Amino acid sequence: MTTEEQDAKFEDFALPKPLLSALTNIGFSSATPIQNASLPFSLSDYDITGQAQTGTGKTAAFLITILTQQWENPRRGGTKPGSPRALILAPTRELALQIEADAIELSSHIDCHVVTVVGGMDINKQRDSLHAKPLDILVATPGRLLDFVQRRDIHLKDCEILVIDEADRMLDMGFIPDVRRIVYQTPHKKQRQTLFFSATFNEAVMRLAASWTLAPEHVVIEPDQVASDTVDQQFWLVSNKEKRETLARFMKSQSPTRTIVFVNRRDQTRDLHAYLTKKGVNCEQLSGEVPQAKRIRTLDRFKSGEISTLVATDVAGRGIHVDNISHVINFHLPEDPEDYVHRIGRTGRAGNEGVAVSFVDETEAFSLPDIEEYLGHQVKCIQPPI
């Protein structure tokens, strides 16, 4: 089914009062289209295959389902340590940690033990958390989860709800063999509920959905447009040798409140961060080579406003939810036009206006036709207005 946006209140779904209180505290009152379309089925134990973009509220949709089901069906008797009632698989550490934060926030009035296991963080601390008390929700990336399963620290035979988030991203990153091994560790699909989400449903993703779900309700939320009209998209013609100076001049003259500057490679992140720091820009870098603990601290400082600018690779392009980002700068145009939309989607959220500036140099101009085709219209390149 394809659903248009409707104004549905969370009270309409007969959710537990503690969960409604948490939603109210967070400031959520009306359901987003993906929540409105999926919750009637997921709360009734149906499997779901949901097609929705990042930022549409699908994380809350599956967390509301999990918390409601667990509230209405309390755990019976003792369980083996490390046996989650719900398992959420995510392709990246950043997305897994964001899901954990959302789960903790939504369960603030419910006794719910949430644990995340991801690579790049202290495995012994994660093991201690797994065994601290009965495990209600486990959020995991595939590789680290398999490590724990092989160590017999995690047991998935009592899993009641399985969530596979960003399945297309799992496929692109080569995680499907690991995910398949994990799914086989859980109860048969007739004995569990499966919620399967993906931004796209090509033939390969459809095959996975068919294998892992049972007669699912397919929910499709079509975006009104590829890029939000709350984002002012600007394309600046800048030669490669002038890009760094132009960026520094922009940051100094405009003083944007909260900015993400995207580059394509880790070494570019290092070099640009060093240059901007010398120019007095209050910034930090975020890429795969930065240790995970530091990445978390950096994101926290960025969210709090302690630092105003992130220089990042696309590791920050998906699954990171930071409010009130005023500017996105594409210092390099991405090779994949879909990544362009994910990048600029970091700003102009929740009805706020944002600015996305893309630097177009002699080489990267060849990427523009693909971006124009994906956007569905031509873009106008201008000289930097600074």
Residue 265 carries which DSSP code? Answer: S
Residue 330 · residue 357 · CB < 8 Å: yes
What is the domain range of residue 30?
A: 8-220
Same domain, 250 and 145: no
pLDDT bin (cut points 50, 70, 90) of residue 2 is: very low
Nearest-CA neighbor of 173 among 319, 370, 295? 319
Same domain, 159 and 25: yes
The number of residues making up the chain comes to 386
Encode pLDDT of 180-206 as tens digits. 999 999 999 999 999 999 988 889 999
Please tell me the number of Cα atoms within 13 Å of 287 on its side-chain side. Answer: 19
Encode pLDDT of 202-225 as tens digits. 899 999 999 999 999 999 987 654
Report if residue 226 sits inside a domain.
no
Nearest-CA neighbor of 115 among 77, 85, 91? 85
Same domain, 345 and 297: yes
Query: Is the model's pTM score more than 0.75?
Result: no
Query: Coil, helix or strand for 380?
Result: coil
Same domain, 176 and 200: yes
Q: What is the CATH number of the domain that holds 93?
A: 3.40.50.300
Count up the domains in the chain and report the number.
2
Report if residue 225 sits inside a domain.
no
pLDDT bin (cut points 50, 70, 90) of residue 151 is: very high
Partner residues linked to 193 by β-bridges? 161
Same domain, 175 and 285: no
Same domain, 201 and 342: no
At position 262, the amino acid (one-letter code) is F
Same domain, 238 and 92: no
